[in-house]
Structure 1
Amino acid sequence: MRRALCIVTASNDEECLHRNLLASDIVRRRGVPVHVERGAPSASIAYNRGLAATDAPIVIFAHQDVYFPPVFAAALDRVLDWLDAHDPDWAVLAPFGMSVDGRHLGNVWSTSQSGLVGTPVDMPTPVVSFDEMTIILRRDSNIAFDEGLPLYHLYGTDIVQAARAAGHGAYVADLPVVHNDSFHGRLGRDFTRGYDYVRRKWRKALPLRTPVLWVRWHGLDLPWYRLRARRSFAARQAKAGDETADPKIYACECGWEDLPPAPQSRQKRHSLKEDT
């Protein structure tokens, strides 16, 4: 890595953390420091604590079940070079998010989908929301997470909107990442609290497309999503992969890791829809 950076994560599962994030090439081989927050009441509080406890100019906020393969470091350097040249006042960056016209952008492996998800981009592309698996922040933008947003959902949408409202760029770029996530069954009441908060806070910016569903003034997209999710539960569960597997196997299937190929490659690209 040509730049000073650090990783901040919120963790409640030591086994998951060590199997994935702490096994990443940029941590084990390149020595990027990792600050772990435990027991925080919300992602925003955890991440702001991590931001205050570190001083690197580039901060990677990552889920504990994220694995950064060896190709990630060079990809991030290229993206940061591009941003330095084209938008030095950028604020936030991610490997996956929603375009202004409502497309899922990115090139990431999702174990819960058993394949690659997103539409790859050739260059950093402006977006309206992020998936929270990984968010990269430029410290000098002075953007931080909103501690009024409860629990652990939709802070990727909120911070993109905060950056855009402050006149800073928010981008998705080609950053190969393995999200070794477990099957997502249903959206619970914790999601409802975040959804209602974002819907109130950004009412003037609505409608907003998040990676999961639309946020509109009437709030009806959430119950409709839940209905479709109930109907598709069995099919989605059957498709999900094994999140306890070594993420290097999935990275190898994507061509991001130099390992012997798995017996049966499951690499495929999935089109994400609201009802899946």
Structure 2
Amino acid sequence: MNAPATFNAPPPALIVISGGAPASNSHERAARAAAPALQKLLAALPPAARVLELGCGLGELAQAYKARHGECHWVGVSSHPVQPGQVHAAVNQTLSVDLHANSILHIGASFDLIIVNRLEHLPNAARTLAELGELLTPGGKLFVLAENHACLSAMAHLVEADPSTGIAALPDDPLGMDKAHPRFQSHSTIFKLLLDAGWTPSLADHVPEQAVDDKLAAAVRYMGDALGVPPGCADRVHRMKHFIIGCQRQFDDAVAPSSRALFDVVVPTTKEQQLRVNVEQSPGLQEVQARIISYRHAATPAEALTQSLQHVGSDWVLLCHQDVYFPKGFGQRLNALLSAISAEDRPKTLLGFIGMGINRQTEQPEAAGFVIDRVNCADHAESDAVVSIDELALVIAKDSLHQIDPHIGWHLWATDLCLTSICTHRVFPRIVRMPLFHNTHSGWQLPESFYDSAEYILQKHSSFSTIHSLCGVIDQGFVARHRSTKP
């Protein structure tokens, strides 16, 4: 069959792949493949006196780090037996620890910097990450290098029905056999894992995916569109090959334990899968046996809350998006907070977790609260003078005097609650800090309906010339600029 006229055949090429001299072992090949990621990780690491590295390999990272910070003491941990002289001298102490069977706490020391080099190869990751908090000195940091198995090249392997790692599982190479085992992790699984282990993760850097065929990228965007995932989200997350994640401890303060939730959870639901993998799987709700009420296909948030209230048996309602994940410790913290609010104050209480508050000293609006939003960490102080709450999650009483406006739609209704609370009820809402993960698919792009809601609340609250929100300062110019750029 003749080739089409537009077909340009590549020049012939012959490459000898195997045979002859023995090929380098799987560890060396893996190290070469990970070199860009290690350079990014190295650049992100702060100076430290004592460093612990899990997955130290042959000491490549220690050697490069000590070229910059020569005085540090470096302890490397390997899951496999290490022969004398096998690891570079930059590693002051090398420990072989079978983390499948043993605790990392057995090393009995503390460190200013802890590094997990390739999270996908960390045995008993949930337990080990939680234990690492006990080995960290006050103010110390954890850094994690992790592979993104939701990147375009990994998805191509899945479509090809071949999720190989590219590392040979040779029977006489235990390290290669371990690395050859396929693992599946994405930004959401990694961030949830770290939050549940007590860490506050933040994306410090990433290694971009190598050049991928445009048709493959377009096909992934098409699949994302079929699943309701906006292109902005898919294009960003799927093009990250490795994550470099910095972590710190922020929620270690003791909280009085409680066995039953003081709140019920109401979730307006449009996508069952998002509900299943986020709200329903949240250990922060399971730890207090919180009741989850899902209201399907509501026309407005007001409808979802009003219709759900008849099934609420607690004094409080946690109203949240279906894509919110509540990490370990959230339920205990919220219970402790709600138990301190008197019955008299309960109906007028409005609590948020991220939004905008007024700084009492400067009298200027500023961001308040805490949330991990996909890969972005919003980390701000609490506020008792709140003018805007993000709708991803908030708490009101079952007998609350705050009522969601049924005309406002799915955007800015919590900001409307805040403004009405201030002007009508003379009560400032509050924003509190708790561990929270927003597994958003929004792509960080404002839909047209957002501007409809913005226009509505500007008319409703005409005494406010500007309304401050996390999405920007909303005024007539904000809406007009968008309308003028519409095709």
- Determine helix, strand or coil for the equivalent of 1:56: coil
What TM-score do you get using the length of structure 2 for normalisation? Answer: 0.42
Structure 1 segments unaligned to the other structure (5+ residues): 229-276
Alignment equivalent of 2:373, drawn from 98, 104, 110: 110
TM-superposition CA deviations, 1:90-120 (whole Å, max 9, x none): 4210111101222111111110xx1310313
Relative distance call for 1:160 and 1:91 in structure 2 (3 A) is same
Tell whether 2:350 aligns with 1:92: yes
Which of 1 and 2 has higher RCO (CA within 8 Å, sep 6+)?
Answer: 1
Which residue does 2:447 correspond to in 1? 188
Question: CA separation in 2, counterparts of 1:126 and 1:135?
Answer: 15
Aligned length: 221
Relative distance call for 1:119 and 1:144 in structure 2 (3 A) is same
Tell whether 2:277 aligns with 1:19: yes
Which residue does 2:333 correspond to in 1? 75
Which residue does 2:436 correspond to in 1? 177
Question: CA separation in 2, counterparts of 1:28 and 1:3?
Answer: 9
TM-superposition CA deviations, 1:178-228 (whole Å, max 9, x none): 111124353232112211111111111342201212222xx1113547999
What code does the residue aligned with 1:68 have?
F
Q: What are the equivalent positions in structure 2 for 1:187-266 lying under 5 Å apart?
A: 187-216=446-475, 219-224=476-481
Which residue does 2:319 correspond to in 1? 61
Question: CA separation in 2, counterparts of 1:30 and 1:202?
Answer: 39
CA contact (8 A) 1:95 1:176 kept: no
CA contact (8 A) 1:89 1:168 kept: no
Tell whether 2:386 aligns with 1:127: yes
Question: CA separation in 1, counterparts of 2:379 and 2:367?
Answer: 5
TM-superposition CA deviations, 1:29-85 (whole Å, max 9, x none): 432111111111122222222224324211000100101111112321343355449
Relative distance call for 1:54 and 1:83 in structure 2 (3 A) is closer
What TM-score do you get using the length of structure 1 for normalisation? Answer: 0.72
Relative distance call for 1:206 and 1:86 in structure 2 (3 A) is farther
Which residue does 1:166 correspond to in 2? 425
Relative distance call for 1:86 and 1:53 in structure 2 (3 A) is closer
Which residue does 2:6 correspond to in 1? none
- Determine helix, strand or coil for the equivalent of 1:141: coil
Which residue does 2:95 correspond to in 1? none
Structure 2 segments unaligned to the other structure (5+ residues): 1-257, 359-363
CA contact (8 A) 1:89 1:169 kept: no
Relative distance call for 1:71 and 1:9 in structure 2 (3 A) is same
Question: CA separation in 2, counterparts of 1:187 and 1:29?
Answer: 34
What's the C-alpha RMSD, in Å, of the aligned pairs? 2.6
What code does the residue aligned with 2:430 have?
Y
Relative distance call for 1:226 and 1:21 in structure 2 (3 A) is farther
What code does the residue aligned with 2:420 have?
A
